Structure 1
Amino acid sequence: MEPMMDAWAVTRPGAIATRPLTPVQRCVPEPRGHELLVEVLACAVCRTDLHLAEGDLAPHLPNAVPGHEVVGRVDALGPLANRFAPGDRVGVAWLASTCGACAYCLRGDENLCPNSTYTGWDRDGGFARYLTADERFVHPIPASLPDATAAPLLCAGVIGYRALKRAELPENGVLGIYGFGASAHLTAQVALARGATVHVMTRSRRARALALQLGCHSAAGAYDAPPEPLGAAILFAPAGELVLTALRALDRGGTLAVAGIHLSDIPALDYQRDLFQERTLRSVTANTRTDAREFLDVAAGHRLAVTVTPYPFGSADQALADLAADRVDGAAVLRP
């Protein structure tokens, strides 16, 4: 008889009030090829998990197990796996595989690979006791980072790091951050450590308090104007109308990077008011393995303050509901 495990699956995507996340029993998966069987030690809850549960992102896998910010322990190896050993602590992130042969992969832009797959979307993720992952897309976790601290770094941290690069913030420049959750509170710390002035705009009073506590220079409402023109901005909130707000806050030549995988519709742009004077609007699509390696080194070196709200594994549905209602400080993290 195959060993079984507890998991959570998106059985019927819909509004969070309809409880789209359901507790299930699954067979413990068997690692094949280059795969590792990983015992989950901590799994952070991402807004992308919420988008999958609510149907904002069309499901790629029926009854998918979400979760793509996983810190775990290697339990077993597939027949071709040789990069890690049983007992090693590893991180499993959003990017699960790429083809390695297309023009995007060959030029170093594997995050744009049209054949890429994703943890918790194309293959079952970390809202479970175990998962399998291709060792070529798994990351060693620095020993200085505890499980619950490291988990949010694997998506919230990495995507924020890539967004910061895409925003092309000038040295010692002024950065605006719209929305201040798991990703933003880490990105702000990286920017501050590099000498930036950081202004936060978010609807959550608790998030504004956290921003000031972390050293941001101001914190105001989501639609408020920052106290000075922004050299760059990052939009983390999935609200398309904030694109116009952020563009209008940019200084001449500034760049707005949109960091989410899902965004509500953007209202019509007024070219002269919103985009003229060489302002730039750009998206952020997933991340590369290089981004992840760079950011984990940055996180270990700077000792980022990772704000975590812990949840027992049996409360994954509550964690998603709290995330939807902006009741989570920093990152929600499931602890099996």
Structure 2
Amino acid sequence: MRTVKAYAATKAKGEFEPFEFELGDIEPDEVDISVESCGICHSDLSMLDDEWGMAQYPLVPGHEVIGTVSAIGDHVTHLKVGDRVGLGWHAGYCMVCDQCMGGDHNLCASAQPTIAARHGGFADTVRAKAPSVVKIPDGLDPAEAGPLLCGGIAVFNPLVQFDVSPTANVAVIGIGGLGHLGLKFANAWGCHVTAFTSPSKQEEALAMGAHDTVNSRDPDAIKNASGRFDLVLSTVNVQMDWNAILATLKPRGRLQMPGAVNEPLGINVLPHMMFNQLSVGSSPVGAPVVIRRMLDFAARHNVTPVNEHFPMSKVNEAFEHLRSGKARYRIVLDRD
């Protein structure tokens, strides 16, 4: 038995307090990770507030985990004790469904979220099924890499899934925790990148990889971008005039929404969708093989999140900083 020291909330919107729990014997297909750092994702805040109705308390969030392997089960062959690894949104998959067998583990109906019905990475140790644990490649700073494991893969996965050309025109809506990584990845992919953002963030967007900007609060500016983009990545969780956004797409263009908008979109089929054969979709993070590819790509092209660091013992201050909207652009908790 291993005693884990963690930080947990005991109720929705509650504060985090020190919390201990016991891990049983490790299963043959499991890995224990000694946590070095863990990013805070907006999904952690949504779980803390039980916005999705799936939180269980005491809740130990944290699904952007960086650490070293401290124990492995007897059947684990691709990892060894001491390897530096990462763990993202999923801590396990069924490994036998059509989706898993086809390489789309992130679409597995039985996938196990790292922070739902199990304890996550705001702790000194986190346990996961071995297929969901990926090595951190050389050349990628592990102290900064955590947010790639959820925020990064959320915006990288569409580039792979939809075979986006390096000559494509890509727009990113919302330059925050997800959006700034969307700019960086699309730029490194070779695309011409446009940031839809407020005037106050336009200079930052250009510095992070955008080639030009559109004022997302100006309907005329959006209208002037008509027919420009092959792909629009929306990373916001608020309503916009989605029909106006669809009008910025080229024929056969796609509006992809890694940002979670909870309200109906109010999209009209006519005229833009039907006459230009447009698509609207969303996607959940990525399969382990795509996460590995993303980490290798990030190491090769020096794609790193813009992070603010807090000691893990200051987790309540870090969440208040996130809740206030002041984070620039991701928050990482360093184990202390």
Q: TM (normalized to structure 1)? A: 0.89
Is 1:215 the equivalent of 2:209? yes
Q: Aligned letter for 1:192?
A: N
Q: Does 1:24 align with 2:18?
A: yes
Q: Distance in 1 between matches of 2:327 and 2:199?
A: 10
SS of the residue 1:241 aligns to: coil
Cα 1:244–1:314 change in 2 (3 A) is: farther
The structure-2 alpha-carbon separation of the partners of 1:170 and 1:315, relative to structure 1 and needing over 3 Å to count, comes to same
Aligned CA distance change for structure 1 residues 170 and 63 (closer, same or farther; 3 Å): same
- 1:196 corresponds to: 191
Distance (whole Å) between structure 2 residues aligned to residue 331 and residue 67 of structure 1: 13
Q: Report the CA distance between 1:242 and its aligned residue.
A: 5.2
Instruction: Show CA shifts across 1:153-211 (max 9, x none).
Output: 111111111133345544412111111223322222222123311111134834x3321
Q: 1:303 to 1:56 in 2, by over 3 A?
A: same
Distance 1:197 1:4 in 2: 47
Change (3 A) 1:145 1:222: same
Q: CA deviation at 1:139?
A: 0.5
Match of 2:7 in 1: 8
- CA 1:220–1:63: 2 relative to 1, 3 Å: farther
Q: Which residue of 1 aligns with 2:95?
A: 100
Alignment of 1:136-147 (within 5 A): 136-147=131-142
The alpha-carbon deviation at position 299 of structure 1 amounts to 0.6
Shift of 1:241: 3.1
Partner of 2:157: 162
Higher deviation after alignment, 28-37 or 97-106: 28-37
RMSD: 2.3
After superposition, give the CA deviation of every residue in 1:210-260 in whole Å (9 maximum; x if it has no partner).
211123122344344456322210111112435444223222221011113
Partner of 1:200: helix, strand, or coil?
A: strand
CA deviations over 1:69-102 (Å, ceiling 9, x no partner): 1000122233444432222211111121111222
The 5 Å alignment of 1:106-185 reads 106-166=101-161, 169-185=164-180
Match of 2:181 in 1: 186
2:287: which partner in 1?
288
Give the counterpart letter for 1:54 in structure 2.
D
Identity %: 26
Residue 50 to residue 205, structure 1, CA distance change in 2 (3 Å): farther
Is contact 2:92–2:128 with CA below 8 Å preserved after alignment?
A: no
Alignment of 1:229-308 (within 5 A): 229-241=228-240, 243-260=242-259, 262-276=260-274, 277-308=276-307
The one-letter amino acid paired with 1:330 is Y
Residues 1:252 and 1:130: Cα distance change in structure 2 (over 3 Å) = same
Provide the C-alpha distance between the structure 1 equivalents of 2:204 and 2:304, rounded to a whole number of angstroms: 11
1:195/1:87 Cα in 2 relative to 1: closer, same or farther (>3 Å)?
Answer: closer
Q: CA offsets, 1:282-312, max 9 Å, x none?
A: 1112311111011011011111142111111
Cα distance in structure 1, aligned partners of 2:25 and 2:77: 13
CA deviation map 1:304-325 (0-9, x unaligned): 1421111111222232232233
Judge conservation of contact 1:72–1:91 (CA < 8 Å) in 2. yes
Which residue is equivalent to 1:43? Answer: 38
* Range moving further from structure 2, 224-233 or 324-333: 224-233
Using a 3 Å threshold, how does the CA distance of structure 1 residues 288 and 317 change in structure 2: closer, same or farther?
A: same
- Unpaired segments of 5 or more residues in structure 1? 15-19
For 1:201, the aligned partner's letter is F
Q: Which amino acid aligns with 1:32?
A: I
**What does the per-residue CA deviation read over 1:101-126, in whole Å, with 9 as the maximum and x for residues that have no partner?**
22222232222111111111232111
Question: Of the candidates 76, 96, 100, which is equivalent to residue 71 of structure 2?
Answer: 76
